[in-house]
Amino acid sequence: MIPIAEDSSMAPNRELLLQMAQMVVFMVQCTLTLCHAHLRSLQRRRRVASRLFSSAKPPLSTITSGKGRRRRICARWQSLASMHVLRRFWARERSTDWWERIVLTTWDDGQWLEGFRMDRATFRDLVGVLHHRLQCQDTNMREAVSPEQRVAVTIWFLATGSCYRVVGDQFGLGASTVATSVLAVCAAMEAELLSKTVCLGSEFGKIMDGFAAMGFPHCIGAIDGTHIPISAPGGSPEQYGNRKNFSSMLLQGTVDHTGRFLDVEIGWSGKNHDAFVFKNSCICAAMDNGSFVPGNPTLNINGVSVPPLILSDGAYPMRPWLMKPYGKLAVSSREQNFDRCLSRCRNQVEKSFGRLKGRWQCLLQRLKAREENLVSIITACVILHNICEERGQHCLGELRDPLPILLPDEGVEVQGNSKTLLEGGKKVRDALAAFMELQTRPR
């Protein structure tokens, strides 16, 4: 044979072909391994089904009857359908390391206060109160989210105002799970804590003493309203649009001298006037019939009977128990002194709205939910505000001013107020103005 000279250029091609052949062999081996694993899985399932078939013993009557075979087959299929199979992959895998390994194990009270607006002890107390309303059972499809995590997700959503998807990524949950948890926890807080935390209480004398120290006697609260921006439920912005051309829901709040809410009225659309909401509120009816303050104690000033008082601005209708400023009608030093004292005390409610929205910044965003769910979310923010105020857990972050409140000019009497109530309110106001002038006059 005549030797053939080997071309040196064929050497790299031969190495490339060899590598490709090795890759093909490797892929075939992987495929065979997967097929073998799948075959073993099928065999295992058949063995399980076979054991179930053999254990399903139909009644004797089904064996001896003419339709026994069909009934035996049905009985075996029923046994197979009732078999409990634990699924390995029931949902998209997400990481919960941030919540379980960082927040729960490494965060101190300062970090809790900054992130959740409360310390760890307050959070645990809140979970303990709501636990029986939030406990869920595991199912075949998924493991239930713990009450502790559901409360944490809700507070984080209320505090940051982030969307459900962002909150879910933070806690390792799906957006739909976050939405369900937020609504469930807010509803649980409303049912369990509203009447216990947002109330006058039995120690109303301390509230009167607090306002008296600020310059206004026999006062048990200050009232005002603020607008919470929302995405109009049902796509009807005309039903919730206010005079600033955005959709909102009105929050009417009455606070004490420390800024704790004593009463709230939530649910009226932003198109309604503050005076209209006030006249249709529960606190107005309770103060009119003297049932809001236990015993309804009165104070006699220069022959005028003065009931427990609530302070407001010029947007509200005058009543014997509702004091509003003279406004543009204040010409004497006595009337101007009255307005200064009233404004100083009434400022507590505006500060409370500022702290409320500073803590729970979801109230600064456009809340998206059904009408009844909007009420629960806003109510939950008020409840948590009172809890934080009572425990002295002040917000560390920057407090934003509340949205402008839509009010008429001071000094303009609101239409629809009865003449009797108006005259009675003016009589009480004049008596108080004279009394307060004597209190502030240097001796």
Burial class (CB in 10 A: 0-12, 13-18, 19+), 243: exposed
Q: How many CA atoms lie within 13 A of 195 on its CB side?
A: 2
The pLDDT tens digits for 127-177 are 999 999 998 866 655 678 999 999 999 999 999 999 999 999 999 999 999
The continuous run of DSSP H or E covering 431 comes out as: helix 419-440
Cβ within 8 Å of residue 70, ≥6 positions away: none
Q: Is 222 helix (H, G, I), strand (E, B) or coil?
A: strand
DSSP β-bridge partners for residue 263:
254
What is the structure's pLDDT at 403?
44
Q: How many Å apart are CA 363 and CA 315, to the nearest integer?
A: 23
Mean pLDDT of 246-251: 93
Q: How many Å apart are CA 382 and CA 47, to the nearest integer?
A: 59
For every residue of 347-403, DSSP letters joined together read HHHHHHHHHHHHH-GGGGS-B-S-HHHHHHHHHHHHHHHHHHHHTT----SPPPPPP
| pLDDT above 50 (res 413) | no
What is the structure's pLDDT at 2?
42
What is the structure's pLDDT at 89?
47
Is residue 368 within 8 A of residue 276, CB to CB? The reply is no
| pLDDT above 50 (res 404) | no
Q: Closest by alpha carbon to 251, among 160, 383, 410?
A: 383
Mean pLDDT of 1-20: 64
The pLDDT tens digits for 275-299 are 999 999 999 999 999 999 999 999 9
Q: How many Å apart are CA 6 and CA 92, to the nearest integer?
A: 58
Q: How many Å apart are CA 357 and CA 236, to the nearest integer?
A: 25
pTM as predicted: 0.76
Mean pLDDT of 81-100: 66
Is residue 134 within 8 A of residue 188, CB to CB? The reply is yes
What is the structure's pLDDT at 283?
96
Burial class (CB in 10 A: 0-12, 13-18, 19+), 316: buried
What average pLDDT does the structure give for the chain?
85
Domain ranges of the chain: 97-196, 198-369+394-440
Q: Closest by alpha carbon to 208, among 278, 282, 311, 291?
A: 311
DSSP β-bridge partners for residue 218:
none
What is the structure's pLDDT at 243?
84
Tell me the pLDDT band of 410, cut-offs 50, 70 and 90.
very low
Q: Is 227 helix (H, G, I), strand (E, B) or coil?
A: strand
Query: How many residues does this entry show for the chain?
Result: 443
Q: Is 187 helix (H, G, I), strand (E, B) or coil?
A: helix
The pLDDT tens digits for 291-327 are 999 999 999 998 999 999 999 999 899 999 999 999 8
Is residue 262 within 8 A of residue 200, CB to CB? The reply is yes
What is the structure's pLDDT at 25?
86
| pLDDT above 60 (res 407) | no
Minimum mean pLDDT among 172-186, 274-288, 332-346, 403-417: which range? 403-417
What is the structure's pLDDT at 326?
94
The pLDDT tens digits for 195-236 are 999 999 888 999 999 999 999 999 999 999 999 999 887 767
Encoded tokens for 283: 């606190």
| pLDDT above 50 (res 62) | no
Angle between helices 120-134 and 147-160 (to 10 degrees): 120
| pLDDT above 70 (res 73) | yes
For every residue of 285-312, DSSP letters joined together read HHHHTT-SSTT---EEETTEEE--EEE-
| pLDDT above 70 (res 56) | no
What is the structure's pLDDT at 222?
98
Task: Provide the Cα torsion 276, 280, 284, 285; round to 10°.
Answer: 150
Mean pLDDT of 410-425: 69
What is the structure's pLDDT at 215?
93
Mean pLDDT of 266-275: 92
What is the structure's pLDDT at 330?
79
What is the structure's pLDDT at 141?
59
The radius of gyration of the chain's CA atoms, rounded to the nearest angstrom, is: 35
| pLDDT above 70 (res 401) | no
Q: Is 243 helix (H, G, I), strand (E, B) or coil?
A: coil
| pLDDT above 80 (res 351) | yes
Task: Provide the Cα torsion 407, 411, 417, 423; round to 10°.
Answer: 150
| pLDDT above 70 (res 24) | yes
Tell me the pLDDT band of 53, cut-offs 50, 70 and 90.
low
Q: Closest by alpha carbon to 178, among 160, 192, 199?
A: 160
